[in-house]
Structure 1
């Protein structure tokens, strides 16, 4: 039963990632692309967590924490660059 639920979740997350990739490439401006990238990171974390549940291992949860950290820092760096023109002061 868990395997079926995980398979359905992986399919749904994959479809949403494809939609995010479309928005990332087609976004009208830079802010929409940054938002699509952040949503793509959230979907990637969801995919990794579901895979961790499916394979019943805890290593995937640590990988998800690393992806969240890198995604958050990259979003902050992009936004800071757009506001100020540089990242490091």
Structure 2
């Protein structure tokens, strides 16, 4: 979807690892939905950028561990909230 707005997406190796760690932890703490959690987390992580891309005009998005932690940290830190959102 970002490419349709002319935005290049780059996901660093440490971001992939961070998403996997969040998925593993949430699967252990809440319902274990396996790899489907990865899709939900990635979507949640990029949600803001997907909606803002057309209006901001940025041409590249670089996702690293810090980006992932900022996007997912608050929700993942609250087990009750993460049960319903993630």
- The reply to whether TM is greater than 0.5 is no
Higher RCO (Cα < 8 Å, 6 or more apart): 2
Structure showing the higher strand proportion among its residues? 2
TM-score of the pair, normalised by structure 1: 0.30
Structure showing the higher helix proportion among its residues? 1
